[in-house]
Amino acid sequence: MVPKLCGQDIELGNFVAGAGVGADTCEEASRALLRAVDGWPADRHAARGRVYMCPCGCGAVVARAGADPQDMGRKWLENGSCCYIDLNHLEIATAETTSAFDQVACTHAMLRIAQRALAAANADQPPGRTITALVNNSDRAGNSYGSHANFLVTRALWDRIFYTRLHDLLYLASFQASGLVFTGQGKVGAENGSPDVAYQLSQRADFFETMTGPQTTTRRPIVNSRDEPLCGMRRAAASEAAGAMARLHVIFFDATLCHVSTLLKLGTMQIVLAMMEQDRAKRSLILDDPLGAVHAWSRDPTLLARAELADGRRLTAVDLQSAFLDEARRFVESGACDGLVPRAPEIIALWDRVLSALRAGRADELEGQLDWVLKRSLLRRAMARNPALSWASPQIRHLDLIYASLAPDDGLFWACDQEGLVEHVVANERIDELMRVPPEDTRAWTRGTLLRHAGAGGVDDAGWDWVRVRTTGRSGWRDPATIRFPDPLSCTRAETEGAFEGAPDLDTVIRRLTELMPEPPPPGWRTDLVPYAAIAGQAAR
């Protein structure tokens, strides 16, 4: 068992309004937004096949031949997060946290950073042109882009889900499908060839076409099998290593803005994954057709639609979620979740409160807690004020989109938040803090703090589990030194703060990190990715 560390990566819808009918401005918008984010460009000088930030300091995003369109111009931030361009969308990726509450704060911290970038980018636009950025998952032209969550799991559980135990895969798919009742942002109409509908719970539901697979942009699976642990291990070695870790990449969720929606999306998944690691997946909760259930449940905001379980029972999404909640409550109350999911009893209590209101037909009471409820309420009010409008009206579809606009004077969600209509589970002060500093209880703290100490001239390249900096060598040249932290749960503030306190220069930081973390690699780790800072000072190859 491992603590259920989590993170998110969110692609934004971005374009330039006022550029003319039919103009494709996504590339222009995403690059302008990325230029306006303060951070350290990854791989500024190496001749790899990616786009990069121009080393002259002009802030341009320069494309190379063979650049990866799904990972371009990545910048790392001092709060341990990063952002980059994915298929002409600005994508923000949060720092790792063990707490779902902290992850809500990290997510909103990155959204505030994106808001600042949007304002700065628009300040450079000529009259009549405005960059728009949306925290949504569909452009209403048949294209969907992702809002992904990531969870730390044992390699043993990952292998059970995707290789050895089909019922574990179906259990996870059934949990995600029924979770639409609180993870959906809400959507007007339908896409991807689906029959039209007035309003549905999820923006992503129309785009799921298969049960499992590693792909994220076509034939999207409910349970994604991408095997990219980001903790320095080869797949073959990981299967043999005791205590090996993996990353569950969840592409199913909508981008959510309400605090409660986001907390439940992450926190309930943490608890369920902890249950699955302890072999507590109850087979009686498996859906007969998870894909069919996703489509049926999303298209019924009355929450009365039923789907068949493998044992023949027919349940609503709220009924099935309530069954998952009952199992999770017993698990948490038994103490089996201790040390794995911070503040699990609070997550259970909130989960219960939301499902109780939905079960009783009082969804409107959750207006400040669930995105799909808040959006539906706002759109209904617009139609009530203007009886000529309907769910099919272009004006209503426009409001659907700008619900998630990042512009404070445009986005409906932010207007509601400023009016105090949105329930917060984390304080604004905590969100502001995580805009500047990384979380303290994961490797994100050392990564972000090292980047800040190295500064623009000292950062050579970076990744989730390593940072390469330039220190002063014996010859006076700036020699590269690579610091690696493949264990996401290590290199916390408590473990490495002493390396940074009072350090007169970067060389001292590197030396202290090496002294603080000299542990040898455990069995199964890659020999060329020695844990922590054991190879600090070596020239990068």
What are 184-230's pLDDT values in tens digits? 999 999 999 999 999 999 999 999 999 999 999 889 999 999 999 98
What one-letter code names the amino acid at 306? R
Distance CA 98, CA 269 (A): 13
Mean pLDDT of 116-135: 96
Q: Which of 201, 254, 253 is nearest to 363 (CA)?
A: 201
pLDDT in tens, 240-259: 555 689 999 999 999 999 99
For helices 493-500 and 506-516, angle between their N-to-C axes, nearest 10 degrees: 140
Same domain membership, residue 301 and residue 319 = yes
Q: Cβ distance 40 to 131 under 8 Å?
A: no
Contacts of 483 (CB under 8 A, 6+ apart): 446, 450, 466, 467, 468, 469, 510, 513, 532, 533, 536
pLDDT at 273 over 90: yes
Task: Answer yes or no: is 133 within a domain.
Answer: yes
Same domain membership, residue 470 and residue 382 = no
Give the C-alpha distances (Å, rounded to integers) separating 398 from 402, 405, 468, 539: 6, 11, 45, 54
pLDDT above 70 as % of the chain = 87
Q: Cβ distance 269 to 149 under 8 Å?
A: yes
Same domain membership, residue 353 and residue 205 = yes
Tokens 């050895």 found at: 164
Same domain membership, residue 480 and residue 372 = no
Q: Which of 224, 193, 225 is nearest to 206 (CA)?
A: 193
Task: Answer yes or no: is 403 within a domain.
Answer: yes
pLDDT at 303 over 50: yes
Task: Answer yes or no: is 47 within a domain.
Answer: no
User: Residue 444 belongs to what domain range?
Assistant: 440-516
pLDDT in tens, 50-77: 445 554 444 555 555 556 788 889 999 9
Task: Answer yes or no: is 155 within a domain.
Answer: yes
Same domain membership, residue 349 and residue 451 = no
The rounded radius of gyration (Å) of the Cα atoms in the chain is 23
Q: Which of 418, 379, 373 is nearest to 398 (CA)?
A: 379
Contacts of 529 (CB under 8 A, 6+ apart): 232, 233, 465, 466, 484, 486
Same domain membership, residue 291 and residue 259 = yes
Structure token digits, residue 210? 């298969």
For 332, phi then psi, to 5°, come to: -70, -45
Q: Cβ distance 324 to 285 under 8 Å?
A: yes
What one-letter code names the amino acid at 375? K
Handedness of CA 96, 261, 297, 188 (dihedral sign): negative
Same domain membership, residue 180 and residue 258 = yes
Lowest mean pLDDT among 38-52, 90-104, 318-332, 447-461: 38-52
Same domain membership, residue 296 and residue 412 = no
Same domain membership, residue 146 and residue 32 = yes
Task: Answer yes or no: is 59 within a domain.
Answer: no
Written as one string, the DSSP assignment of 391-445 is TT-HHHHHHHHHTTBS-TTT-HHHHHHHTT-S--SS-HHHHHHHHHS--SSSTHH
Give CA angle at 289 (287, 293), nearest 5°.
85
Positions annotated as catalytic residues are 86
pLDDT at 124 over 70: yes
Task: Answer yes or no: is 1 within a domain.
Answer: no
Structure token digits, residue 296? 């049926």
Q: Cβ distance 131 to 29 under 8 Å?
A: yes
Same domain membership, residue 458 and residue 500 = yes
DSSP tag of 114: H
Task: Answer yes or no: is 381 within a domain.
Answer: yes
Same domain membership, residue 199 and residue 107 = yes
Same domain membership, residue 339 and residue 301 = yes
For residue 251, the domain's CATH number is 3.30.590
- Between 70 and 454, the more confident residue is 454
Give the C-alpha distances (Å, rounded to integers) separating 97 from 4, 151, 191: 9, 10, 34
pLDDT in tens, 213-225: 999 988 999 999 9
Contacts of 364 (CB under 8 A, 6+ apart): 373, 377
Handedness of CA 124, 125, 126, 128 (dihedral sign): negative
pLDDT at 528 over 50: no
Task: Answer yes or no: is 149 within a domain.
Answer: yes
Count the domains in the chain.
3
What one-letter code names the amino acid at 95? A
Distance CA 222, CA 193 (A): 18
